[in-house]
Structure 1
Amino acid sequence: MAAKHTPVYLKETNNSLIWMRSCEKETAKPVEGKVKGELPQWLSGRLTRNGPGKTGFGDTQFNHLFDMSALIHQFIIHDGRVTYQSRFLQGDTYKKNLKANRIVVTEFGTGAYPDPCKTLFQRFMSFFTPLNKRDITDNCLVSVCHFGDELYAMTETNVMRRIDPETLETVGEKTNLDEYLMAVNTATAHPHVDPDGTVYNMASSFAAKGGPRYTIVKFPPPAVVNGKKKSSLDQARVVSSIPCKHKLQPSYYHSFGITENYYIFVEQPFVLNLKKFLLNAYLGKSFLAAMEWHSKEKTKFHVVRRDTGEILSTKYASDAFLTFHHTNAYEEDGHLVVDLCAIKSGDVISQFLLKNLSQGDFQVSPSDLPHHRRYVLPLRTQGTRTNTNLVTLKDTKCTARKLEDGTIFVEGQVISPNIIDLPRINYKYNGKPYTFAYGVEVNPLGVQFSRLVKMNMRTGETQLWHEEGKLVSEPVFVAAPDATREEEGVVLTTLLDKNNPTFIALLVLDPTSWKEVARVECVAQGKVTQTFHGQFAATGDSVHLL
């Protein structure tokens, strides 16, 4: 059902502890689903999704939601029929944990237990292994993205894993980005893709000359160079490098913005303390143990020209906030409009510890969860007066004022009072003016994805979709062939049943009416787990957008 915007959250009586589900059996062989309603005739392709699938190994349990073993889910749509399958990502980390029957590789929030397969001497010598040679997790559980015709599972380390798009089997050895780009320590799981197939991403180099830096990386489409085929990774290069504000405390980030002419990087005061990180690496402590939230610091916006890689000299700042997900950004009348999901504090990360999510009555304050916010950055600031609002766009409450030191201090506008995350758009409007965004409403009870949200970014109107007893996932917009309108297409998401752990359905919504068009219900071989992000690959397309 569709409903007009309301800030009232669902009062669920049954928290099914959806995040604590652990898949004991993959659905390796595709199972066909039962179609209800009518699928669009033009809809054909693969919806591949990624997320946490296993809570632990043996008698050891992961500590954090971001640590659980990656489980890849996929729906294949062809000739009006739909199949579902799932496979664990068979990376080195998964295999080592499985063999040892315990967690032996450190994750974001879980320190490794001693590997019983190693002798005492081997464990001792591992403390002297350089960081770039140590066991970096390849548990890529956040998202998936195509680089040319190759599909990769991604996380926030410098490692990706290639997967077969037809079988979901893990292909070959792990891909280390530092083999293609010098000294890359982390990268986001949220790249951007241009219409020609060029992929852009943000990465960090902690040991760069002159101190830690954030780098913008370009992966051109596959090509033949001097008679030899070059993959996107083979052609990877850095297009710009941004110095960290604090040399020993680089910012955490999860995504970034891009427009037709600019990149936008948000440097936030949720930082990695490198001193703690280096010590913890040798003590076997987690990445999370070295993270710090500095509430009195400002959040910085760095703007970089796409044509030259030049960092604009104008400094933009706001009161501290944390963001995981950018929605979109675009240029309008000498301004950059930046839309994202903002959280007031980095302390929210600890809310996702499994010891919290395993409590049936666990609830987070709505103020500690993401709200959709817009910021407007004026590009023409030289010669302007201080303490004067430089935002001249109509229909916005955003402000930008020049301070005495020349910094442009920006204040954002909340688009909707709903708790909204995992935002997606019609990606053909990425980096361009747009009207609609889609996401999930996060229920403070159990941090569950309870309702689907459609936002009109110009009017602030919000529409909600919900079905009793079901949970939704990130909505993915699929544009109709030869579409001429922004809403022309369908929105795909998955439905989980709170009480039936083997139920999964593909839900198809009409973006205009925000009503159900069709659904395909499947029965999995084992428990179905929630996912974070996914990508649709249309049959016949050579470039797969996000």
Structure 2
Amino acid sequence: MPEQFAQGFTTLKEEIACDSLPVQGSIPTWLEGSLFRTGPAQFEVGQQRYRHWFDGLAMLHSFSFQAGAVSYANKFLQSPAYKAAKETGKISFGEFATDPCRSIFQRVASAFSSESGANANVNISKMGEAFVALTEIPLPVEFDSRTLETVGVIHHDDGVAGQHSTAHPHYDPIRRAGINSITQFGPKSHYNIHTIADGTTQRTLIGSIPVREPAYIHSFGMTENYIVLVEFPLVVNPLSLLTHGKPFIENFQWKPELGTHFHVMRAVDGRVVKSYPGPTFFAFHHINAFERGNDVVVDIVTYPNASIIDNLYLDKVTTNHETALWGAFTRYILPLDGDALIEEAITEEGIELPRINYERNNGREYQFVYSCGGDWANPNDFLNRLVKIDVQAKTAQTWQEDGCYPGEPIFVAAPQAHAEDEGVLLSVVLNSAKGNSFLLVLDATTFRELARAEVPHHIPFSFHGMYSSLREFEGKF
């Protein structure tokens, strides 16, 4: 199986701009805007090789739609990490699981300064009117949405401290502000929850949670009134980040005896109203969270432990990883007037990279989740299907094609949509038989293929992105 999808972890050096991709099927004419993606695209520099999927140098991709046609462009993000690699022929900045040999003095200096490669290969978001690429280092990189040219690293000039943020900020339409969590490592470590109001890059602290051994946190939940931060027992002694000489994630230790802890913070004033001990598990991605009466409901893609991180090292994922690269859809019900949480399995489908109708349902009760998925009976394969889950009926629909490996499905609502699932899904798919990729357009209601647009090269497996309508572009330009 690994030989089928191995190309998804190989370097793409070519940067192109295609005014019109060949389309099979029919793309809805109402789809007018652009899909933006970021992800690792270069896995070696000179004689050095990045060690983990999460480490490769970032490349931006855009698919733009108008009148049923689709264009495509890709361009490397001109981050400090990329520029240094081009200039020196070496890996010059530490990444998630790759670290060039640096002295203890360089390590200490970089841990407490703004030095970073800003290799924003994880997610795309908007900061006010600016389009930004994100990673877990709290330095977004702005790019021009028309040309994909890099504008530059955004430095936050404020008093909110921290060295590691989630790559999944939320947006609060009532406050008109982005919300995120940043971990401050030090003798006194904290999770600092903050906002960034539209029109500014300055962060404002909502609240802070002290922690002795910070956990690795990739995402969090948000309801209409609460922030939900989940601490998994993959934790670090902050001193290790300075003294052990290991790549970032290899300083963390799995301590199952700690269990998992859920913190519910009131968004209006940062007060933690409840903290719940929970069962031991690990997760990258929250699906959604919402309030139901006196309960806070949190939906997460869960793993029994953190071995998923080890299985995504490049020398393992492309040969023979030990366990499945997808998790379980698990619901946790947190009673605000009680002390014990309730755990519930929603579906038997193995899923990862989940998306919902965010604008309509984030922080609210919802019905549908869209995700990549895998076959529990074939754990050595990669994510090879798309899955639509009806959360209320606990049923699932799938799209799958032999030799094809789809990426994160992004939901785009149809104009004047009435139903939650009225729209399309956009997913970048690797076709291992042909050695290239295509953009898949699915009807989100029926889960049937509407169209596909072929790209002349393969696109390495990426993580996340966003869709921006033409209306948003017109508002910006």
TM over 0.5: same fold?
Answer: yes
The one of 183, 195, 208 aligned to 2:161: 183
Is 1:240 the counterpart of 2:231? The answer is no
* TM-fit CA distance, 1:213: 0.7
Secondary structure in structure 1 of the residue aligned to 2:147: coil
Secondary structure in structure 2 of the residue aligned to 1:490: strand
Tell me the amino acid that sits aligned with residue 327 of structure 2.
P
Is 1:155 the counterpart of 2:135? The answer is yes
Tell me the amino acid that sits aligned with residue 201 of structure 1.
N
1:199-278 paired onto structure 2 within 5 Å: 199-207=178-186, 211-222=188-199, 231=200, 233-234=201-202, 236-244=203-211, 247=212, 249-278=213-242
Q: Which residue of 1 aligns with 2:364?
A: 432
Tell me the amino acid that sits aligned with residue 240 of structure 1.
G
Partners of 2:128 and 2:394 lie apart in 1 by 37
Secondary structure in structure 2 of the residue aligned to 1:478: strand
Check conservation: 1:103, 1:113, Cα contact below 8 A. no
Call closer, same or farther: CA 1:111–1:62 in 2, change over 3 Å: same
Partners of 1:533 and 1:543 lie apart in 2 by 24
Partners of 2:189 and 2:474 lie apart in 1 by 33
Call closer, same or farther: CA 1:78–1:377 in 2, change over 3 Å: same
* TM-fit CA distance, 1:363: 3.6
The one of 27, 31, 37 aligned to 2:25: 37
Partners of 1:18 and 1:74 lie apart in 2 by 20
Check conservation: 2:36, 2:465, Cα contact below 8 A. yes
**CA deviation profile, 1:348-405 (whole Å, cap 9, x unmatched):** 211111111232xx14324x74111001011123xxxxxxxxxxxxxxxxxxxxxxxx
Is 1:521 the counterpart of 2:454? The answer is yes
**CA deviation profile, 1:415-438 (whole Å, cap 9, x unmatched):** 122220111001111111111101
Partners of 1:277 and 1:165 lie apart in 2 by 35
Partners of 1:451 and 1:492 lie apart in 2 by 13
The one of 294, 301, 324 aligned to 2:255: 294
Q: Which moved more, 1:58-67 or 1:191-200?
A: 191-200
Partners of 1:81 and 1:87 lie apart in 2 by 21
1:254-403 paired onto structure 2 within 5 Å: 254-280=218-244, 283=245, 285-312=246-273, 314-359=274-319, 362-366=320-324, 369-381=326-338
Partners of 2:431 and 2:99 lie apart in 1 by 32
Check conservation: 1:63, 1:354, Cα contact below 8 A. yes
**CA deviation profile, 1:452-482 (whole Å, cap 9, x unmatched):** 0000111211111011121101011111122
Q: Which residue of 2 aligns with 1:110?
A: 98
Call closer, same or farther: CA 1:181–1:481 in 2, change over 3 Å: farther
Partners of 1:13 and 1:352 lie apart in 2 by 12
Check conservation: 2:194, 2:204, Cα contact below 8 A. yes
* TM-fit CA distance, 1:206: 1.7
Partners of 2:104 and 2:372 lie apart in 1 by 46
Partners of 1:126 and 1:374 lie apart in 2 by 43
Partners of 1:112 and 1:316 lie apart in 2 by 39
Call closer, same or farther: CA 1:150–1:127 in 2, change over 3 Å: closer
Give TM-score, length-normalised by structure 1: 0.82
Q: Which residue of 1 aligns with 2:441?
A: 508
Call closer, same or farther: CA 1:240–1:448 in 2, change over 3 Å: same
Partners of 1:14 and 1:543 lie apart in 2 by 44
* TM-fit CA distance, 1:71: 1.2
Q: Which residue of 1 aligns with 2:7?
A: 18
Task: Name structure 1 gaps, 5 residues minimum.
Answer: 1-11, 115-122, 223-230, 382-407
**CA deviation profile, 1:482-503 (whole Å, cap 9, x unmatched):** 22211111111112111333x2
Q: Which residue of 1 aligns with 2:58?
A: 70
Give TM-score, length-normalised by structure 2: 0.94
Tell me the amino acid that sits aligned with residue 14 of structure 2.
K
Call closer, same or farther: CA 1:504–1:347 in 2, change over 3 Å: closer
* TM-fit CA distance, 1:134: 6.7
Partners of 2:251 and 2:353 lie apart in 1 by 26
Check conservation: 1:336, 1:378, Cα contact below 8 A. yes
Question: Runs of 4+ in structure 1 displaced over 6 angstroms?
Answer: none
Tell me the amino acid that sits aligned with residue 515 of structure 1.
R
Check conservation: 2:2, 2:381, Cα contact below 8 A. no
* TM-fit CA distance, 1:95: 0.9
Partners of 1:24 and 1:267 lie apart in 2 by 38
Check conservation: 2:160, 2:204, Cα contact below 8 A. no
Partners of 1:297 and 1:364 lie apart in 2 by 24
Q: Which moved more, 1:194-203 or 1:42-51?
A: 194-203
Is 1:97 the counterpart of 2:85? The answer is yes
Tell me the amino acid that sits aligned with residue 514 of structure 1.
F
Larger radius of gyration: 1
Q: Percent identity?
A: 32
